[in-house]
């Protein structure tokens, strides 16, 4: 059973959601991973249909990617901040030979979770005991 109730609901384990075929198309075997298709399926009832949900998800992701790639930040209050982080050039070592290797300057995307998102993730879920409760 998946720990995430939203994923369980999407996969047809809750009333009101269509059942999906158990063909192993859900990512990892534990069933705790949500991919783009699962996200579209989750929001399609709220958006009206699957096509509108797909366009909405794609528009949000494309906008975030283009904005971050140009060097600007995308801040979504309560959710988090997407930004471009520049890693300076450096000298590293090849672990097999010990030879010095020059690593060029590179840019990578970075995400910092917002306070509301952190609070939601850190809230103990039902059925699981927090470390404070188990220490008693």
Q: Rounded distance, CA 83 to CA 89, Å?
A: 19
CATH topology of domain 71-124: HU Protein; Chain A (4.10.520)
Q: Rounded distance, CA 26 to CA 64, Å?
A: 25
Q: What is the pLDDT of residues 37-69, one digit of tens each?
A: 999 999 999 999 999 999 999 999 999 999 999
Domain borders along the chain are: 1-70, 71-124
Q: In the chain, how many H helices and how many E strands?
A: 5, 5
Neighbouring C-beta atoms of residue 37, cutoff 10 Å = 15
The yes-or-no verdict on residue 34 having pLDDT over 60 is yes
Q: What is the pLDDT of residues 94-115, one digit of tens each?
A: 999 999 999 999 999 999 999 9
Whole-prediction pTM value? 0.64
């Amino acid at each position: 059973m998946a720990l995430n109730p939203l994923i369980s609901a999407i996969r047809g384990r809750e009333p009101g959601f269509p059942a999906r075929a158990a063909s192993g198309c859900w990512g990892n075997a534990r069933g705790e991973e949500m991919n783009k298709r699962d996200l579209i399926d989750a929001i399609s009832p709220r958006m009206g249909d699957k096509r509108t949900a797909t366009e909405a998800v794609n528009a949000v992701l494309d906008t975030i990617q283009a904005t971050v790639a140009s060097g600007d930040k995308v801040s979504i209050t309560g959710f988090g901040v997407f930004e471009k982080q520049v890693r300076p050039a450096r000298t590293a070592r090849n672990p097999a030979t010990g030879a010095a290797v020059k690593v060029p300057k590179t840019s990578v995307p970075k995400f910092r979770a917002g306070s509301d998102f952190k609070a939601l993730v850190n809230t103990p879920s039902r059925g699981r005991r927090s470390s404070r409760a188990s220490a008693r």
